[in-house]
């Protein structure tokens, strides 16, 4: 997922200031009343200078190593989307594949993988989007959704929104 390439935190060259800002930004959980959010936030590891200098990478793999926290994250999405008549959950390759299917299973929806080019066999729709340098492309199977169906799109992180916008255009 190319989104984090554009996620530069902090205005200057002070690496420790950038880390502090990242930590406090992470700590501002939305809807702070839900006690599960603190555990989820604490389980996200920030790795500086990945994939390149200046980028603070938000790594969810530590969350996946804490079964109770992973379950809480999925449960919070399921509680939100259950009973809304969601026909499909579309997950963006690859980290959207980790969260999306569990949500789909819990709410009885289809799971639709949105993939990098040439991974899906058979007939596909394709949508290009802009990266910091160059372009990338997202694909979806023809026939995965029907007109009028309600869909939730899932990924681990939204940064500039480029990938998510491409996903929404694919589904539309």
Is 156 in contact with 102 (CB distance < 8 Å)? no
Please state, in angstroms and rounded to a whole number, the distance separating the CA atoms of residues 14 and 18.
6
User: Could you tell me the smallest distance in angstroms from the CB atom of residue 95 to other proteins?
Assistant: 8
Catalytic residue among 132, 139, 146, 149: 132
Please state, in angstroms and rounded to a whole number, the distance separating the CA atoms of residues 53 and 110.
39
Q: Is 100 or 162 the residue whose CB approaches other proteins more closely?
A: 100
Catalytic residue among 93, 95, 115, 146: 95
Q: Is 33 or 108 the residue whose CB approaches other proteins more closely?
A: 108
Neighbour-count burial of 27, counting CB atoms closer than 10 A to its CB (0-12 exposed, 13-18 middle, 19+ buried): exposed
Residue 132 bears catalytic tag: yes
User: Could you tell me the smallest distance in angstroms from the CB atom of residue 21 to other proteins?
Assistant: 19
Q: Per DSSP, which regions of 54-162 are E strands? A: 56-59, 88-92, 110-114, 124-130, 135-141, 151-154
> Footprint of other proteins on this chain (CB under 8 A)?
45, 47, 50-51, 57, 59, 61, 64-67, 70-71, 74, 91, 93-95, 97-99, 101-102, 104-105, 108-113, 115, 118-122, 141, 144
Give catalytic residues, as residue numbers. Answer: 95, 132
């Amino acid at each position: 997922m190319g989104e984090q390439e554009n996620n530069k935190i902090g205005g200057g060259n002070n690496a420790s200031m950038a880390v502090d800002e990242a930590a406090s930004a992470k700590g501002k959980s939305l809807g702070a009343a839900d006690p599960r959010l603190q555990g989820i936030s604490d389980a996200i590891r920030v790795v500086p200078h990945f994939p390149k200098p200046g980028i603070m990478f938000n790594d969810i793999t530590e969350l996946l190593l804490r079964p109770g926290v992973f379950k809480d994250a999925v449960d919070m999405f399921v509680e939100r989307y259950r009973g809304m008549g969601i026909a499909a959950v579309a997950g963006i390759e690859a980290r959207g594949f980790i969260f999306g299917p569990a949500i789909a299973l819990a709410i009885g929806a289809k799971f639709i993988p949105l993939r990098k080019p040439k991974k899906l066999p058979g007939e596909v729709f394709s949508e290009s989007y802009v990266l910091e340098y160059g372009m990338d492309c997202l694909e979806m199977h023809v026939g995965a959704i029907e007109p009028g169906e309600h869909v939730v799109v899932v990924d681990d992180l939204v940064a500039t929104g480029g990938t998510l916008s491409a996903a929404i255009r694919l589904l539309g």
